[in-house]
Amino acid sequence: MSNFLNKINPIRTGVIGSLFTALCCFTPILAILLGTLGLGWLIGYLDYVLFPVLFIFLSLTVYGLSRQRSGNPS
């Protein structure tokens, strides 16, 4: 796990993922896209997926910031 996190930048990955997930979660972009593709029935389940993914990306950002603050930058 540590080797994997050394290859990626957790701060950059966390921030980009959080912004993308928040954009999909709080705007109707994903609902419009799913409706266009004929998958409108999935719209009711988006919160069950997007909120945990947002939490994971925010946690990754906090992990990267705490790692950078402790003097072990990634």
Question: Is 57 within a domain?
Answer: yes
Where is 12: in which H helix or E strand? helix 10-26
48 is a domain residue: yes
Q: How many domains does the chain have?
A: 1
Q: Is the pLDDT of residue 73 over 70?
A: no
Is pLDDT above 80 for 1? no
Q: Phi/psi of residue 43, each to 5°?
A: -60, -35
The answer as to whether 26 is a domain residue is yes
Mean pLDDT of 11-35: 89
- Is there a domain that residue 74 lies in? no
Residues 60-73, mean pLDDT to the nearest whole number: 83
Residue 26: give the domain boundaries: 2-69
Long-range contacts (CB closer than 8 Å, 24 or more residues apart) made by 48-51: 50/21, 50/24, 50/25, 51/25
